[in-house]
Amino acid sequence: MYNVWENVLAEIEQKVSPANYSTWFQDTSLLSSTDDSIIIGVKNSFHIKQLQTKFIDIIKEALNNNHLPTKNISFEVQATNKPKVRAHEVVATPESIRNHLPLKKSSPTNNSGLNIKYTLDNFIVGSNNDLAVAAAKSIIDAPGTRYNPFFLYGGSGLGKTHLVQAIGNELLKRNPDYKILYTPISDFYADFVNHVLNGKGKDFNNKFRKLDCLIIDDFQLIIGKDKSQEEFFNIFNNLHQLNKQIIVTSDRLPSQIKTLDDRLANRLTWAGAFDLQLPKFEDKCAILRAKADLMGAEIEQEAIEYIAENTNTNVRDLEGELSTILLMSEVRGLTPLELIQNGSASIHSTSKLRPTTSKQIAEKVAKYYNLTYKEMCSKSRVTNIKTARQITMFLLSTELSMSTTKIATEVGVKDHTTVMHGIEKIKNDLKLNFTLRDQIEEIKGQIYG
């Protein structure tokens, strides 16, 4: 029964959002299966209600595809995650297991390494990613031409992996014979080392020559791996000369990856570089609305806006906050807005461990740059003092939602327009300056640590 249920879950995972799957299906199990009935184990009674009202059709379809009964489906709360075997249940024989197993096991991935749940249809387009999406569509229409290589960069949780795998899945959809390989750079490196150790280095290179499209994820992790850089350089040149599509993602630009060969860094941006930025308020609202609709959840617009206003990290965290509030809403029998209004909902990514005063933030920034609080708040235009002051403005705005007028008083500047300029400068610099991004993350760690 274990294998059968794994197949069922694999099929369900393809049809629901990641948040829905992890919340409602991940900890389920198959407790019992007879000729006309099935019992599914769940964590608690609230899961039963959710599965019965919102996902029963998807469950029935997956069961039917795996030759399991769908006439009488019931749910039962289980004490642990381990499936139980009932005393009255007939012990499965090899023959009965074969009768229940599908001919081919469902899988969320295919032999290209792509996860088939990543599509352009479920990728939310906003002002933070519209240029990258436009380039992706151009690649799908004419691979190996205008945007080759396609270099996509941005912070964690913004959708890089989703977008590049969506390109691969759409290319396969249009041409099933298209040869695509998606691989994180860490797997590329491990595979290369394994071939070299076994004396099959030439075989490693040859397998890439046959590709129509190569997708490399998390390229920044190639740092310091000289031999694999050289091998990738050769593979890149071979594919590019044959007009085969090359797609690479990274959390930063090639020029900002330490020890990366200059020739390779230059080639990766031959066709430009496209970045995914943090979503703006309107983008976040659109993402939350779309995710809620995919989950089949009802949520008020005011609740959507509350989550958007109070989550200042990335898309992944945004979806996590939505799932948490929807689950709390279900458990407590309140609407999401009622939950927020009575103070029961808290946004974890921005509210926990919040500093009690603005001076705490200012002092941490000053200390990070080896300044005194008084020096940072002076009228000095020395570069490191000015930078520290502008970072303080930025953090007081994003972390404490202080008004520009109050921030001006806190850091000793003339008026709120200076603050507005300082905040905007840091926001713009963060798009390309990964050193600054790392510094701000370190400062946050010291503030909240």
| pLDDT higher than 60, residue 107 | no
In order of their start, the domains of the chain are: 2-100 (3.30.300.180), 130-276 (3.40.50.300), 281-351 (1.10.8.60), 358-448 (1.10.1750.10)
The whole-number pLDDT of residue 202 equals: 77
| pLDDT higher than 50, residue 101 | no
The whole-number pLDDT of residue 3 equals: 62
Rounded distance between C-alpha atoms, residue 298 and residue 293, angstroms: 8
Q: What is the pLDDT of residues 348-359, one digit of tens each?
A: 544 444 545 888
Starting from the edge strand earliest in sequence, which strands make up the sheet with 37-42, in order? Answer: 29-33, 37-42, 72-77
| pLDDT higher than 60, residue 84 | no
Task: Please report which confidence band the pLDDT of residue 79 belongs to, taking 50, 70 and 90 as the band edges.
Answer: low
The whole-number pLDDT of residue 52 equals: 84
Average pLDDT, the chain: 82
The whole-number pLDDT of residue 421 equals: 92
Which residues touch 123 (CB under 8 Å, ≥6 apart)?
Answer: 133, 159, 162, 163, 166
| pLDDT higher than 70, residue 449 | no
Task: Please report which confidence band the pLDDT of residue 86 belongs to, taking 50, 70 and 90 as the band edges.
Answer: very low
Q: What is the pLDDT of residues 297-332, one digit of tens each?
A: 889 999 999 898 888 778 888 888 888 888 888 888
Q: What is the pLDDT of residues 114-136, one digit of tens each?
A: 998 899 988 988 888 999 999 99
Starting from the edge strand earliest in sequence, which strands make up the sheet with 150-154, in order? Answer: 180-184, 213-217, 245-250, 150-154, 273-276
Q: What is the pLDDT of residues 178-227, one digit of tens each?
A: 999 999 998 888 888 888 888 887 788 888 888 999 999 999 888 666 78
Which residues touch 315 (CB under 8 Å, ≥6 apart)?
Answer: 124, 157, 158, 159, 279, 287
The answer to whether the pTM exceeds 0.85 is no
